[in-house]
Amino acid sequence: MTGISARSSLRINGNRLHLTLDLPLTMYGDLTAEADRRGKGIRELLVEALMSISRPPELIRTRAESAVRRGWDDFSVAEQLEATTKQVAAWRNGIGVEPHRPGQGKGKI
């Protein structure tokens, strides 16, 4: 998809961003094929791509590890950081921290 130009326009409404893309048909075809390959819609594929840029996995892991060190439970960390409890538990185990009882952390991570 490199070398193909695409235009976009942005409109902000409150805390929402409306993004309009004007893509060449070949790029749209590539997006459709990739979405089909992953069993997702184009919208889901684009949202995942944007989330990975704005919330890189390394940052989420670092914040999760810091939170469990401060006493946060896996569920609360996962909920706030939009991760799975299984992933938070794996990160916690990886740094040698025992699980905490629910409700130990207060506020935002």
Q: What is the pTM of this model?
A: 0.52
Q: What percent of the chain has pLDDT over 90?
A: 48
Six-digit token string for 59? 């940052």
pLDDT tens, 6-32? 676 777 777 677 778 888 899 899 999
Q: Are 92 and 99 in contact (CB under 8 A)?
A: yes
> What is the 8-class DSSP label of residue 55?
S
Six-digit token string for 99? 């699980």
Q: What residue ranges in 14-98 does DSSP mark as E strands?
A: 16-22
Looking at residue 99, its pLDDT comes to 94
Residue 1 has pLDDT above 70, yes or no: no
